[in-house]
Amino acid sequence: MRSAARGLRIGCMDELALVDWITRHSRSLGPLVKVGPGDDCAVLAGTGREDIHFTIDEVVEGTHFRLAGRGLGPRASGRDVGYKALAAAVSDLAAMGARPIAAVAAASLRKGMAGTFGRAIHLGLTAAARDSGCPLVGGNISETAGPIAVTVAAIGCAPEGSCFLRSAARVGDAVFVTGELGGSILGRHLHPVPRFAESRRLRELGGVHAMMDVSDGLALDLWRLARASRVGAAIDAARVPVSPDARRLARLTGKSALEHALSDGEDYELLFTASSAAAERIERLWDLPTRLSRLGEIVPRSKGLLIREGARLRRLEPAGYRHL
């Protein structure tokens, strides 16, 4: 992508180019900032033996959920909106290996929504806070004439210098993903499950190099991880954990279940790499009910992103959900 310095107007940017531009223009952030824009969380120096992790996320009507009209999957209730907003935000903490501490939320609601619907959003927020162990400690309410939105900022902590970054994958690493992928629009997108237990277990087992959560699709997020780490990746189509929802959705859309698993997004599973020795240990000692799939390996950057389908090796396009 061309940089702003080479004439790309901000008004013409897509999401990826805008994030690149912001990252390049966020270099001098002060001595307390250890990780700035470009990863799942910012990381700040703490006061003791732990670093502080800080993240923010937003769900917007018409983009992340619908309240009316026809479409794939269920309409969202107020409780669904609140639950999704907080769970999606704190998923970033899990992806960095952080323990949640607290969250705050801001809701922009249309006139007349402050009663039953507003209370339902709060109940969803507090339910997700309870389930994820991240207490909701404050927030803000404002009025909007347009689509409603709920924004959640969350903080967590992890042992100093131990955060999992997108940029730490190494050639020869194994590539893993938790859970099953695809078809979340049929309902799972409204109730994400932040993978804190899985993240803690991976820290205990050791050897994990890079990690992020799958929010915009496996193919696109693997491309992001590989790009940040300056490597390539090769995965096996037969190892991609295709969810039952992806198979159901394939019957409705005409796309293959594999395509849905690779590009649907909003799965909020952990995508990570580990050394070959650690990979064998992780597979042998994995004792959580969440499915764990070894997809392939990290390869030199020059090879790009590849997927094996039987005897065929082809380029894997970074398809997935892109804002803007």
pLDDT in tens, 203-230: 999 999 999 999 999 999 999 999 999 9
Q: How is residue 281 written in tokens?
A: 């240990």
Cα–Cα dist 123/155, whole Å:
20
Per cent of the chain over pLDDT 90 is: 81
For the 36-159 domain, the top CATH level (class) is alpha beta
Which pLDDT belongs to residue 2?
30
Give the rounded distance of the alpha carbon of 124 from its chain centre. Answer: 20
pLDDT average, residue stretch 49-56: 94
Which pLDDT belongs to residue 22?
78
Please answer whether residues 214 and 268 qualify as being in contact, where contact means their C-beta atoms are separated by less than 8 angstroms. Answer: yes
Amino acid identity, position 78: G
Least confidently predicted of 112-116, 187-191, 277-281, 305-309: 112-116
pLDDT at 8 over 50: no
Which pLDDT belongs to residue 11?
44
pLDDT at 10 over 50: no
pLDDT average, residue stretch 46-67: 93
Given this chain, do its domains 36-159 and 166-315 carry the same CATH topology?
Answer: no
Please answer whether residues 125 and 96 qualify as being in contact, where contact means their C-beta atoms are separated by less than 8 angstroms. Answer: no
pLDDT at 196 over 50: yes
pLDDT digits (tens, 9 = 90+) for 144-191: 999 999 999 999 999 998 899 999 999 999 999 999 999 999 999 999
CB atoms closer than 10 angstroms to residue 179 = 19
Reported residue count of the chain is 324
| Spans of all domains in the chain | 1-30, 36-159, 166-315
Which pLDDT belongs to residue 29?
77
Band (280; pLDDT cuts 50, 70, 90):
very high
Pairing of strands 292-299, 174-178: antiparallel
Please answer whether residues 125 and 105 qualify as being in contact, where contact means their C-beta atoms are separated by less than 8 angstroms. Answer: yes
Angle at 239 between CA 233 and CA 240, to 5 degrees: 80
Instruction: State which H helix or E strand residue 252 sits in.
Output: helix 244-253
Cα–Cα dist 213/166, whole Å:
10
Decide: helix, strand or coil at residue 233: strand
CA distances from 31 to 44, 95, 101 (A): 9, 24, 23
Which pLDDT belongs to residue 28?
67
Which pLDDT belongs to residue 3?
29
Average pLDDT over the chain reads 92
CA distances from 230 to 172, 227, 245, 295 (A): 13, 5, 33, 19
pLDDT average, residue stretch 107-111: 96
Which pLDDT belongs to residue 1?
26
Which pLDDT belongs to residue 80?
98
Q: How is residue 166 written in tokens?
A: 């997108």
Cα–Cα dist 273/5, whole Å:
34
Which pLDDT belongs to residue 179?
98
From 49, 46, 59, 109, select the one nearest 87 (Cα to Cα): 59
| Architecture of domain 166-315 in this structure | Alpha-Beta Complex (3.90)
**Residue keyed to tokens 């590539």:** 175
Q: How is residue 161 written in tokens?
A: 């210098």
From 120, 103, 100, select the one nearest 50 (Cα to Cα): 100
Is the four-CA dihedral 156, 162, 164, 168 of positive or negative sign? positive
pLDDT at 13 over 60: no
